[in-house]
A and B are shown apart, each in its own frame.
Chain A
Amino acid sequence: MHVLIVEDEKSLHDEVRQFLLESQYLVDSAHTYGEASEKIFVNSYDFVLLDLGLPGGDGLDLLREARRNDQQEASFIILTARGALDDRIKGLDLGADDYLPKPFSLLELQSRMQAIMRRKFGLKRQEITFGSGFSMDVSGRVLRQGDQEVALTKKEFDLLHYLVLHKNRVLTRLQLGEHLWGNVLEDDSDSNYIDVHIKNIRKKLSAFAPTDFLETVRGIGYRVTE
């Protein structure tokens, strides 16, 4: 996977870059409009992570320019802190594949990228296997153990999916909460909703097989291990 990060804020660029490198992506960077335009023209990327307010031009123009070129097959994800609401609509109209307002979670970014890949390559029945014989049909939203279906609520399924997607990473309650309640501004970050969800998931799964793959990391959060 070849990713171009177009971001003029150096610290942010560095963090995204580090994260993607650790997740085994091939990463390229551009810090200005001109640099980005040139790199998009010359190289072929799977993803372009696009900041909108760039020195030398507007990221939306870059997107427009790239979409005019039929050879360019990169998926664009707009990352912006600009408050203007029509940017989102404009961006998606111009052919951006997704839009993440800053600040965003790197995990969220990664799961969006994976969702785009899934769409792009038409992986309709993507099965993820984990733990002791559990398999997850993401588009069908079904969890199975062997031939048996494990009944989970919508939120429980989303939570487990997110954990499985970021296998071997510790996810904090905040990160999990943000994924579940993404668009809603919650101010009770201390609430124990996530803990209750995990408790219920464990209870439901343990009826079929051991759930020791779903670990609690004391004081921090949860992790799904291989």
Chain B
Amino acid sequence: MRLEAKLALFNALSKLLLVLLGVALIPAIVSRVAVSHTDQRLHEKKREVLDLIKRDGLVAFVRQEKNEAYADYNILKQEYISLTPERGPALPKPEELIFNEQRQVDDEVEDFRILGYRFTANGRPYRLEIGSSLATVELLEDTLRRLALWVLVIGAAVTVVTDAAFARFLLRPLGQLVSSKLRDVRHPSAFSFEPIPTTTTDFRQLDDSLNEMMHQMQSAFEKEREFMSNVSHELLTPVSILQTRFENMLQDPELSHAHSLKLVESQKTLYRLRNTVKTLLLIANIENDQYLREEPVSLSAVVADVTNELEDRLAQRELHLRVLLDPDFVLPRANQTLLFTLIFNLLSNAIKYNRWNGSITVTGQLLPNGAYRLAVADIGPGIAPENLPHLFDRFRRFHASGPASPEGFGLGLPIAQTIATFHAATLTATSELGKGTTFTLEFQPVSKPVLSGSSAS
């Protein structure tokens, strides 16, 4: 997952957590707030009433003669105020209590939040009650809760979006760095040294060190390329001289037969040396990325070319070849010549290490993930398990089992593997003694954009 996506996800999750926490805590908080708000209002009312009493005297409120209580409420019965004279002795000091209780107002019974205040006036205890309907309190609570939740949710949503946008903005240089300097760079020569525009010191440093490292790698590759060129000249020129000399000597009519035979032997030795040198150079050149990889290549076309080339050898050993490439696979960017060599080496091995009148099966298979598997299977003597891991080692020779087997696997397989790697494919071998060997090439899935435009990426 990309860093940006991770940050956005983390951000969204933390905000969600915050909202959930809010949903859990807000009702409790809001009801506390609403209750305390109501209580405060009741206190204020009480103060106002006491002020009025102080100003106008109790007489204005209590109808002394009837000894009746004073009560007042608003039309919707959300609030009431009552002042009741009480029996009993005078109180030493006023008492105040807030509680919830039912009260009957007119004919209706309702829950009220009530502030009860007992005080002494004119030597008589009085009880002042100021009530606020609990329905009102709940209404307030509800409004508050809704408001708080909305603010929370909207706030969270807005910050999620702005945070993501900001993270995106901040991380843009990193994205550019990945896409232009890492993702499509398979070789130092394909690297762009264009600095990424950024004011973030970390990205600047990252970009600079990448450039620096790539500079060093490029120069190392360049040196290697030069070295290879010189080495091949120095090694191949003497071989060339000897080869032409042997050829000329063999044409000498005065040459004795015994010497001719020696020359043929020398020629063989020279060919071995030559092939070793050429193989090393081939591998080095592939690894140094000197081969182009630009043409679309169909595997079935390559297999057809190779089988055409090997037709006689198959016939000579009376081998049956079955090619089951369905569907075909087209590598969008490959090197036809190298792929030919690769398949040739595999098939040529399957011919060499097969039994007389045996068979070779070439199967191609598209895997569910889009990768393609090409297998070349022979029914030859097989390879001993202890030799299997060394099959692709350069210059390791071992004797294949079976009396009729050729001397060794030589350099064909290391070359094959180098070419496979060059095409981002893997080459593996499985074998069972007496049953045969299967070489399997697995090519990576073709990503669609590569097909439409090679430069756009």
**A interface residue numbers (CB < 8 A to B):** 9, 11-12, 15-16, 18-19, 22, 53, 81-86, 101-107, 153-156, 169-170, 172, 174-175, 178, 183-191, 193, 196-197, 218-221
Contact = CB atoms under 8 A, between A and B. Distances in A.
Interface stretch (B36-44, B103-111, B277-285, B326-334): B277-285
A102 B237 contact: yes
A174 B272 CA distance: 11
B267 A172 contact: yes
Which 9 residue pairs across A and B have the least CB separation, nearest first? A83-B232, A103-B240, A15-B244, A81-B236, A187-B410, A102-B240, A83-B229, A11-B241, A103-B243
Contact of A19 (B228, B240, B247, B344): B247
Given A172-B250, A174-B267, A219-B261, A103 B274 contact: yes
B186 interface: no
Interface in B209-237: 225, 228-229, 231-233, 235-237
B445 interface: no
Interface stretch (B58-66, B311-319, B377-385): B311-319
Contacts of B240: 9, 12, 81, 102-104
Which of A85, A101, A193 has the largest number of chain B CB atoms within 10 A? A85
Contacts of B313: 193
B291 interface: yes
A188 B352 contact: yes
Contact of A185 (B228, B241, B264, B415): B415
A172 B245 contact: no
B237 A197 contact: no
Given A19-B251, A84-B225, A193-B316, 16 more contacts: A15-B241, A19-B247, A22-B251, A85-B290, A105-B244, A106-B244, A106-B248, A153-B312, A153-B315, A184-B341, A184-B344, A186-B348, A191-B406, A193-B313, A218-B257, A220-B264
Interface string B3-40: 00000000000000000000000000000000000000
A82 B231 CA distance: 9
Interface residues of B, number: 55
A185 B411 contact: yes
B47 interface: no
30 contacts: A12-B237, A81-B235, A82-B233, A83-B281, A102-B240, A103-B243, A105-B244, A105-B247, A106-B244, A106-B247, A154-B308, A154-B311, A170-B250, A172-B267, A174-B264, A174-B271, A184-B344, A185-B412, A187-B411, A187-B412, A188-B410, A189-B271, A189-B272, A190-B268, A191-B406, A196-B316, A218-B257, A219-B260, A220-B260, A220-B264
Contacts of A85: 285, 290-291
A53 B233 contact: yes
Contacts of A170: 250-251, 260
Interface string B242-274: 111101101100000100110010011001101
A189 B274 CA distance: 12
Nearest to A15: B244
Given A12-B240, A83-B285, A219-B260, A18 B415 contact: no
A86 B412 CA distance: 24
B176 interface: no
A208 B368 CA distance: 56
B248 A102 contact: no
A189 B268 contact: yes
Interface string B297-319: 00000000000100111011000
Contact of A169 (B251, B291, B315): B251
Interface in B409-453: 410-412, 415
B294 to A, nearest CB: 12
Nearest to A188: B406
A14 to B, nearest CB: 9
Contacts of A185: 275, 278-279, 282, 411-412, 415
B254 to A, nearest CB: 13
Nearest to B269: A189
A12 B244 contact: yes
A12 B248 contact: no
Contact of B236 (A16, A102, A196, A219): A102
B170 to A, nearest CB: 44
Nearest to B286: A85
A159 to B, nearest CB: 10
A155 B312 contact: yes
Contacts of A9: 237, 240-241
A218 B264 CA distance: 11
Contacts of A191: 406
